[in-house]
Structure 1
Amino acid sequence: MRATRPVGEVTRGTTNPNRLRRMDRWIAAQHGASLRRSEDPLAVDLGYGAAPWTALELLVRLRTARPDAEVVGIEIDPARVAAARPYAREGLSFAHGGFEVPLPGGRRPALIRAANVLRQYDEERVAEVWTRLRARLAPDGLLVEGTCDEIGRRHVWVALGPEGPRTVTFATRLGSLQRPSDLAERLPKALIHRNVPGEPVHAFLTDFDRAWAAAAPFASLGARQRWIRTVRSLAGPGGWPVTDTPARWRQGEVTVRWEALAPARR
């Protein structure tokens, strides 16, 4: 039989150690309970790039929640797979593939992480790719898809279950932040072209900047306290549907329900 061509396109492959630490820590904290319940604690690092650092780091961080977690790094470029295989170890392997997520034995992963993969695609492709990836998840699985800068200071991702998108998380190194809307350049492909007047994500970032400005007196207590005050204001009565708590806000994060930020229908 002829081999099936992997679905997708080769990415730039930019990889730096610790680039995805904010996303990984969020996954371990927020999805840890589900991972511990999983009969098959398998995670996929989809499109890990020119070097395998992100797959290695994902394994280490997931094992804080589930010591027997496994990670398979999947890359569409066979040369990158060959270069990564010397780094394989117990619980970590690498495979050639794309959005079809090829796994032996029909395994369905508890987690698929796709970071900085869809940025080069057209917005119209996002729904199709999300649908394909969600279909590969275990029943209680999670897909995390998003974008960050080269050293992981600013990151925005969407969390999706088998049923569809659930939340959007904004995460940043607070010491580098001038205003929350600085994160707009890292919006995932589903949202980045929607940061215009009339779209929910634009309204959210506008309110975020306004609340940040109002919280300026708290800057004397540090950027963390200003961020916490800002998010508390956003989540106040009649505000945005923030789903997390101050324990996550202290990490420079805020998570909002997808429905509140989803693109307006046209």
Structure 2
Amino acid sequence: MTSRAATRPPSRPVGTVTRGTTNPNRLRRMDRWIAAVHGAELRRAPDPVAVDLGYGAAPWTAVELLHRLRTAAPHARVVGVEIEPARVAAARPYAREGLDFRHGGFEIPVRGRPQLIRAANVLRQYDEAEVAAVWERLCARLAPADGHSRGGLLVEGTCDEIGRRHVWVALGPEGPRTVTFATRLGSLNRPSDLAERLPKALIHRNVPGEAVHAFLRDFDRAWAAAAPYASYGARQRWIRAVRDLAADWPVADGPGRWRQGEVTVAWEALAPRRPR
């Protein structure tokens, strides 16, 4: 997708320093989803490299990503990338076999093309108009698709401080594929509670006339209609609501993932409709 010169790291990292807020176990829902849906691609790759982009003030998310990926792909390696040099220095004592930390940004300072780039809570501070260019740049760094692989995966999204509610977009080398909503069901009053965790590409689109607003409206209606199932627990209510939602929306997963408090929808169904 890019020339060798285009992928050569520049002299200065590309991007802006984030707040760096991080907590252990914050990204568990995203990690488990990645291991489940992308694990086969990681296992097939001769050198399955994953990048934890913008891991923050402490290295916990990169350490945990390695552990969770290796449950699916025992030879996976993780490189934590941070634009703030002091954070890289603080993380390096945690480096070990399969885990490294490097100074950099959106240029992704690793050799070759990674099989995974995870960017959690990184674009929250950017303007919506900047997101498409960042996505394009990161997707260009992914392992390409071929006859045996769909290529690498970029997972970009936002979660709350302790990881109870999370929404992310999954992108391949060709661009965005899906949007996943994930939550701890015991903390949920209604599905639209997840609106505050929409990624930057969608969070300002939760208004009448936009697809994501219609989706969350319909999800709330399905959740309300599934209220009788609450006597069997929040999980059964969620599963029923998603099953009803799938009649009108292109839900891309099945009950095995719904049971985890997740639902994944095709990107095209939720993509912004109105130019800005």
Q: TM-score range by the shorter chain?
A: over 0.9
Shift of 1:265: 3.5
SS at match of 1:31: helix
1:156-195 equivalent positions in 2, closer than 5 A: 156-195=167-206
Is 1:81–2:81 an aligned residue pair? Answer: no
Runs of 4+ deviating beyond 2 Å: none
For residues 155-191 of structure 1, what are the alpha-carbon distances to aligned partners after superposition, in whole Å with 9 as ceiling and x for unaligned? 0000000000000000000000000000000000000
Shift of 1:110: 0.2
Amino acid aligned to 1:90: E
SS at match of 2:208: coil
Distance in 2 of aligned mates of 1:197 and 1:38: 43
For residues 136-159 of structure 1, what are the alpha-carbon distances to aligned partners after superposition, in whole Å with 9 as ceiling and x for unaligned? 000110000000000000000000
Distance in 2 of aligned mates of 1:64 and 1:225: 27
Is 1:219–2:207 an aligned residue pair? Answer: no
Amino acid aligned to 2:221: R
- Which of 254, 257, 260 pairs up with 2:263? 254
The count of aligned residue pairs is 261
Distance in 2 of aligned mates of 1:34 and 1:69: 11
Instruction: Assess if the C-alpha contact under 8 Å between 2:157 and 2:167 holds in 1.
Output: yes
Is 1:228–2:251 an aligned residue pair? Answer: no
Q: TM-score, normalised by structure 2?
A: 0.93
Instruction: Assess if the C-alpha contact under 8 Å between 2:52 and 2:79 holds in 1.
Output: yes
Amino acid aligned to 1:196: V
Instruction: Assess if the C-alpha contact under 8 Å between 2:210 and 2:274 holds in 1.
Output: no
Distance in 2 of aligned mates of 1:34 and 1:242: 22
- Which of 121, 128, 137 pairs up with 2:133? 128
Distance in 2 of aligned mates of 1:123 and 1:66: 34
Partner of 1:23: 30
Is 1:99–2:110 an aligned residue pair? Answer: no
Distance in 1 of aligned mates of 2:29 and 2:157: 11
Amino acid aligned to 1:149: D
Q: Percent same amino acid among aligned pairs?
A: 83
Amino acid aligned to 2:274: R
Instruction: Assess if the C-alpha contact under 8 Å between 2:43 and 2:75 holds in 1.
Output: no
CA RMSD for the aligned pairs? 1.0
Is 1:45–2:52 an aligned residue pair? Answer: yes
- Which of 110, 118, 121 pairs up with 2:115? 110
Amino acid aligned to 1:126: V
Which ranges of structure 1 fall in alignment gaps of 5 or more residues? none
Partner of 2:148: none
Instruction: Assess if the C-alpha contact under 8 Å between 2:52 and 2:119 holds in 1.
Output: yes
Amino acid aligned to 2:232: L
Amino acid aligned to 1:107: G
Partner of 1:36: 43
SS at match of 2:214: helix
Shift of 1:125: 0.4
For residues 47-82 of structure 1, what are the alpha-carbon distances to aligned partners after superposition, in whole Å with 9 as ceiling and x for unaligned? 000000000000000001111100000000000000
- Which of 148, 153, 161 pairs up with 2:164? 153
Is 1:13–2:20 an aligned residue pair? Answer: yes
Amino acid aligned to 1:164: G
Which ranges of structure 2 fall in alignment gaps of 5 or more residues? 1-9, 145-150
Distance in 2 of aligned mates of 1:63 and 1:145: 21
Shift of 1:40: 1.6
Distance in 2 of aligned mates of 1:4 and 1:190: 29
SS at match of 2:51: strand
Amino acid aligned to 1:130: W
- Which of 213, 220, 223 pairs up with 1:202? 213
